[in-house]
């Protein structure tokens, strides 16, 4: 968890540094009226912006599923058995149509609400025990 905190802090610091130096180059070129060299000098002195992805804390609770996702979990295998030639996109289109035509969405909505309350409780506990923020 500490390494995620360090990684994400380093990412924020790198973005702050890159953007401040980019603004500094723009200010200097504006003062010297040579704004046409902006892209060339940014590339020469700063290069490309680093592509660092923020790491997710493995102890952080995952977001709850929506009612549609609970519906998909129930019917996906059934659709795939009936239509083995369907690709995943076709399966999802079929599930979307079934969801629109579904009359009784209440059990899935209830599952979604229960998952959301569990998530909020777990998130509150996580935030209370997280010593890195």
Segment 107-125, tens digit of pLDDT: 999 999 999 999 999 999 9
Total-model pTM:
0.61
Interatomic CA distance for residues 54 and 106, integer angstroms: 37
Residue where the block lists tokens 């680093």: 50
Per-residue pLDDT of the chain (133 residues; tens, 9 = 90+): 456 767 777 888 888 888 999 999 999 999 999 989 999 989 998 888 878 787 888 888 999 999 999 999 999 999 999 999 999 999 999 999 999 999 999 999 999 999 999 999 999 998 888 765 4
What angle do the packed helices 67-82 and 88-101 form, to 10 degrees? 120
The domain segmentation of the chain, as residue ranges, is 2-45, 67-129
Helical residues (DSSP H) of 1-133, grouped into ranges: 2-31, 38-45, 67-82, 88-101, 106-129
What's the pLDDT at 1?
Answer: 47
* Environment class of 8 (CB within 10 Å of its CB; exposed 0-12, middle 13-18, buried 19+): middle
Interatomic CA distance for residues 129 and 114, integer angstroms: 23
CATH architecture for segment(s) 67-129: Orthogonal Bundle (1.10)
């Amino acid at each position: 968890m500490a390494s995620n905190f360090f990684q994400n802090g380093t990412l924020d610091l790198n973005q702050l540094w890159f953007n401040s130096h980019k603004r500094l180059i723009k200010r200097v070129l504006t003062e010297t009226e040579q704004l046409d060299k902006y892209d060339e000098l940014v590339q020469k002195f700063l290069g490309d912006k680093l592509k660092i992805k923020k790491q997710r804390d493995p102890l952080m609770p995952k977001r709850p599923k929506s009612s549609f996702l609970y519906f998909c979990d129930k019917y996906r295998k059934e659709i795939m058995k009936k239509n083995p030639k369907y690709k995943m996109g076709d399966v999802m289109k079929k599930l979307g149509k079934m969801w629109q035509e579904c009359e009784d969405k209440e059990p899935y909505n209830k599952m979604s609400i229960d998952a959301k309350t569990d998530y909020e409780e777990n998130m509150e506990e996580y935030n209370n025990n997280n010593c890195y923020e």
